Structure 1
């Protein structure tokens, strides 16, 4: 089964260069988004790493009612469309409701199904019918082999442009663990598999009214995942993670990202 997915002439999958999906957890404002996207574009161009920019326009699954969610679909998609047009890079964001899908498909190169919604059949099928590339975040509650059922749903709608992203599974309260066998198991679906290094070190709800995280372990897990055969790495980054409005504890600082990406590229080449 074909393991390659073409995203705006960026080809992901077995035998291809390692792809980076990176950006802030949420759109805080247009200036911050352009700052991060510009930096990542320059960095990945220098390293020769294919790059997809990600940012959520609405984090509908925050821990607390008081948590920052982002600017919403209208303003958020406008910002992402500007990033795509002005920086000439593909963009990714997630959808939470069926009524968002059409507008998102007009802008996004990759539509993401959030981990907590990956079994919502109607949403998955609506996204599949757009014909866009779909990045399915594997739910924290799923075994790797369960992902094949999600892929089957998408293919039933005539869409074979599917990427799967591993982000850890629940390991007791407020903790996640990664089983690296899952990368190979999920690749047997014929889909490229990406490893989400920063959500895998998240501590869901671990800070009471927000999620905690252990960002210091993200580089270790990223290297292990690439050595295990992951086709891409998903990393949330921010210039000042300690003051980020969402997922700061598990986000990596943009300064110092270059050595990690260089290491991941070399591991991919060896693996």
Structure 2
């Protein structure tokens, strides 16, 4: 059970994870990465560029998934070379860990897969940071065990990310107590401010969302000691090929970052 205590980690400089949900094109990656790199230079904070090479957990079999492992990792490597940004991407199967770990700095474990032992172990074996998203069906206390799996497999740094819990059908709710609770187990606790406003499967064969609440999610997380913020962002979310309804407009990212880093 969580016991309130003074936690010096809440005074860590926050990090930001930002990028499109899925790799749609090299042009989109360039557009978003250029803005993320600009914000990193302006703020002096660390920004991780995020994009998925494959979205294996789409609602419909007809939904766009991405360019795949080989092509997607090459596109991400190009972003890293051009913009000098650290990278984050998610993996869905154990065999993807080694190849992805040769390119990106953080391997992300999707929420629905956070109990998959082989996936966690292979991610840990790469030596990269492992970011585990809290499942929509688990409590903050439950996330101790995925972290232990990674640490026992040799992971040097493990993050946990809050992204809401199921609240009936097609809806999520965030228990912000999970942030300080999970900080007991992880090296850093992140708030996923965009996936937490999803309406899973709630848009007729695809996921809906309420992007207007993204800033409030971020500010509430700040009050609960978040040590990082995750934003999926796109220049035109309504035309995005995945998760558009809950993505932040790219031109709104700077203003929100400014609010989060201003006392």
Q: TM-score, normalised by structure 2?
A: 0.95
The aligned length equals: 255
- Name segments (4+ residues, structure 1) moved above 3 Å: none
Match of 2:4 in 1: none
Contact 1:19–1:231 at 8 Å: present in 2 too?
yes
1:48 Cα offset (Å): 2.9
Which sections of structure 2, spanning at least 5 residues, go unmatched?
1-8
Is the CA contact 1:49–1:265 (under 8 Å) kept in the aligned structure 2? no
Of 41-50 and 194-203, the range deviating more from structure 2:
41-50
Paired residue secondary structure (2:53): coil
User: How is 1:28-47 mapped onto 2 (pairs within 5 angstroms)?
Assistant: 28-47=24-43
TM-score by length of 1: 0.92
Is 1:162 aligned with 2:158?
yes
Verify: 1:73 aligned to 2:62, yes or no.
no
Give the SS at the match of 2:216.
helix
SS in 1 for 2:67: coil
- Please say if 1:141 is aligned against 2:137: yes
> 1:25 aligns to what?
21
CA RMSD of aligned residues (A): 1.0
Give yes or no for contact 2:160–2:186 (8 Å, CA) kept in 1: no
1:187 and 2:196 are equivalent in the alignment: no
Structure 1 counterpart of 2:198: 202
Deviations 1:56-109 (A, max 9, x none): 000000000100000000110000011111111100001111111111011010
Distance in structure 2 (CA, Å) of the matches to 1:170 and 1:74: 34
Separation in 1, partners of 2:253, 2:29? 17
Say if 1:135 and 1:162, in contact at 8 Å, map to a contact too.
yes
- Deviation, 1:190, is 4.1
Compare 159-168 and 57-66 and name the one that shifted more.
159-168
Name the counterpart of 1:247: 243
- The equivalent position to 1:222 in structure 2, one of 218, 237, 246, is 218
**Whole-angstrom distance in 2 between the partners of 1:190 and 1:205:** 30
1:110 Cα deviation (Å)?
0.4
Please state whether the residue corresponding to 1:263 is helix, strand or coil. Answer: helix
CA distance in 1, matches of 2:215, 2:198: 13
| Segment drifting more, 151-160 vs 21-30 | 151-160
Moved more, 121-130 or 235-244: 121-130
Residue segments in structure 1 that go unaligned for 5+ positions in a row? 1-12
Higher relative contact order (CA 8 A, sep 6+): 1
SS in 2 for 1:112: strand
Q: Residues 66 and 190 of structure 1: is their aligned pair in 2 closer, same or farther, counting only changes over 3 Å?
A: closer
**Contact kept? 1:128, 1:157, Cα under 8 Å:** yes
